[in-house]
Structure 1
Amino acid sequence: MVALDDVELEVFEAGRENAGRPVVLCHGWPEHAFSWRHQVPALVDAGYHVIVPNQRGYGRSSRPSDVTAYDIEHLAGDLVGLLDHFGYEDATFVGHDWGAMVVWWTAILHPTRVGQVVALSMAYMERGEQPWVDAMEQMLGSDFYFVDFNRRPGVADAVLEAHTARFLRNLYRRNQPPPAPEPGNAMVHLALADEPPGDPVMSDDELAVLTSAFETSGFTSSINWYRNVDRNWHLLADVDPVVRQPALMIYGARDVVARNERIAELVPDLTEVELDCGHWVMDELPTETNRAILSWLEQQRL
């Protein structure tokens, strides 16, 4: 447990003998430090000091009750605080899903503390002229889960907490056909549905780790990250939006998450890699994911 200014974070680490080459792995939603289990050994073997936090709201880390405690200033501040704790000026930050969003934004909020960016599944999201939740509602409707989490606070949380094991089992799938659109929050549908098509991403024992963690923490604290999306839009108003660090973007070819076709304009030193998988890149193709990350990191050292 690492004590920062206003929270404690549960942090896992490996490869301390590789001091001086830090890599911070940032999970997404609804994930956990455990989500990086396939990457940690490979990174350590390649000579990196790997630091894997359960970010605020997850695992045994603090879960503040104030919704605004999960805005990007706090989330990025936690990552900078971890660097200070371990005595590093900067690090390579790797993020998946929401963790990628946090890493992108940390790179522009604290540019001297982020040496390199590796993002999986979630491309850099340009700010635009309209708050993000309003824009999503216009494009995708009020049922879109990002929007619903904001417009009806607590409603989806309660359903997911009442059906945690089923929700996570149904969410972590691969080789799925495109979902048929239906009214309502897609995450709620997953929590209430019979087993969906596709194949499980994790073994039962692996899934049990995440299930136990969310049965303990609940979902509200992690969903509060979504409830700060528009607050983040305002907080980033006067920040240089260009990510100037070298960056690797890894996509899943079958991922339903939209890509930003203009990403190269905002991330000029960008390498893009596509893997034949869905959203859960690190779980679905761990060997290929490790190879892509390590190859790119090695190229950055040449």
Structure 2
Amino acid sequence: MFSPAEFPTPTLVSVNGVELEVFETGQENAGNPIVLCHGWPEHAFSWRYQMPALAAAGYHVIVPNQRGYGNSSHPTEVIDYDIEQLSGDLIALLNHYGYEDATFVGHDWGAFVVWGLTLLHPDRVNKVINMALPYQVRTEKPWIEFLEEFLGSDYYFVHFNRQPGVADAVLNENTSRFLHNIFRKNIPPAPPEPGMMMINLARAEAPLGEPLMSDNELAVFVSAFEKTGFMSSINWYRNLDRNWHILADADPIIQKPALMIYGNRDLIPQSENLKEFVPCVDVLSLDCGHWIQQELPEETTRAILKWLERQAAA
């Protein structure tokens, strides 16, 4: 297990009208940047196992708490969390360090942002490594409408949008329990429960599976969300339809070299047509659930480094 005391001390960086809490390692490798983007409900700390190895391999590792998380800014308007703003933060972060482009790594919502960043600003991305969430093809109708039709009003993406504030309040009241219950591994297959998944997790007395991390590690996430609450991070979900409109005019094909890492026990379905939209993609599945880089840290790090080595030699 990882001791939180070993994690780098952050700096606050002013970018794009907000302040981002940024954790760095490998500053001596200036000129070879890699930016790691966390998911929900997470924190830069989710990359704790990959950061030292990437620095040792010669990378300047830059890991922001994205807007709405940790000690980064928490703007109050929902539209402050759309893909233009989230990708704009990453572009401004590159500008801050004086980089033209970088390799971007994303997990979960971080992967959505990295895909979107690459569509909107392809010249600032040299390689893409994403985990858990494959490229999301733009549906015929806006995403929330589409999801509501197929998965119903209790599906948590839909619920977050159609009943704003309801889930946020439940998660805020049960922060420690919710995070303890969601960060699990080796979860046995079970039919979905009725109701809204995230609210169920926040109230569940006995979670399934095994703890993903030690109590000390979990405390980093719990203390961050006890301080911030969940609304600002859930506001990312409330921009899905706005993002659908923003991405309408973007070329939907990503031409950059890409690595897609799935957990083969994840609930997120794997893409059947990834190569159509990301022609230069390599695909890897690891025997784990959703929290890939924390669940199988050594295997994930090894896969990333091997792929980056192959790209460098190509």
TM-score by length of 1: 0.99
Residue 128 of structure 1 is matched in structure 2 by 139
- SS of the residue aligned with 1:249? strand
Residue 288 of structure 2 is matched in structure 1 by 277
Corresponding position: 1:204 with 2:215 = yes
In 2, the alpha carbon distance for the partners of 1:145 and 1:44 equals: 37
Alpha-carbon offset, residue 5 of structure 1: 2.8
Pick one of 74, 81, 85 that aligns with 2:92: 81
Alpha-carbon offset, residue 47 of structure 1: 0.5
- SS of the residue aligned with 1:261? coil
Residue 101 of structure 1 is matched in structure 2 by 112
Corresponding position: 1:66 with 2:87 = no
Pick one of 56, 62, 65 that aligns with 1:54: 65
Residue 31 of structure 1 is matched in structure 2 by 42
Corresponding position: 1:146 with 2:157 = yes
Pick one of 228, 235, 254 that aligns with 1:243: 254
Does the 8 Å contact 2:139/2:146 carry over to 1?
no
CA RMSD of superposed structures (Å): 0.6
- SS of the residue aligned with 2:122? coil
Alpha-carbon offset, residue 174 of structure 1: 0.7
- SS of the residue aligned with 1:137? helix
2:201 maps to amino acid: L
TM-superposition CA deviations, 1:258-284 (whole Å, max 9, x none): 122111100000000010000000111
Alpha-carbon offset, residue 195 of structure 1: 2.3
In 2, the alpha carbon distance for the partners of 1:224 and 1:148 equals: 12
Pick one of 239, 246, 264 that aligns with 1:253: 264
1:13 maps to amino acid: E
TM-superposition CA deviations, 1:92-132 (whole Å, max 9, x none): 00000000000001001000000000001000001121110
1:131 maps to amino acid: P
Does the 8 Å contact 2:65/2:71 carry over to 1?
yes
In 1, the alpha carbon distance for the partners of 2:74 and 2:141 equals: 30
Task: Provide structure 2 residue ranges, at least 5 long, that are not aligned to the other structure.
Answer: 1-11
Alpha-carbon offset, residue 178 of structure 1: 2.1
Residue 188 of structure 1 is matched in structure 2 by 199
- SS of the residue aligned with 1:236? helix
Corresponding position: 1:12 with 2:15 = no
In 1, the alpha carbon distance for the partners of 2:254 and 2:84 equals: 17
Alpha-carbon offset, residue 6 of structure 1: 1.2
Residue 7 of structure 2 is matched in structure 1 by none
- SS of the residue aligned with 1:40? helix
- SS of the residue aligned with 1:273? strand
Alpha-carbon offset, residue 181 of structure 1: 1.9
TM-superposition CA deviations, 1:31-66 (whole Å, max 9, x none): 000000000001001010000000000000000001
Residue 115 of structure 1 is matched in structure 2 by 126
User: In terms of mean alpha carbon deviation, does 253-262 or 41-50 score higher?
Assistant: 253-262
Alpha-carbon offset, residue 180 of structure 1: 2.2
Alignment of 1:213-252 (within 5 A): 213-252=224-263
Residue 92 of structure 1 is matched in structure 2 by 103
Alpha-carbon offset, residue 250 of structure 1: 0.2
Alpha-carbon offset, residue 223 of structure 1: 0.2
TM-score by length of 2: 0.95
Pick one of 156, 161, 169 that aligns with 2:172: 161
In 1, the alpha carbon distance for the partners of 2:203 and 2:245 equals: 35
In 1, the alpha carbon distance for the partners of 2:169 and 2:33 equals: 38
1:197 maps to amino acid: L
- SS of the residue aligned with 1:59? coil
In 1, the alpha carbon distance for the partners of 2:264 and 2:16 equals: 40
In 2, the alpha carbon distance for the partners of 1:54 and 1:239 equals: 26
When the two structures are aligned, how many residues end up with a matched partner?
A: 302
- SS of the residue aligned with 2:288? coil
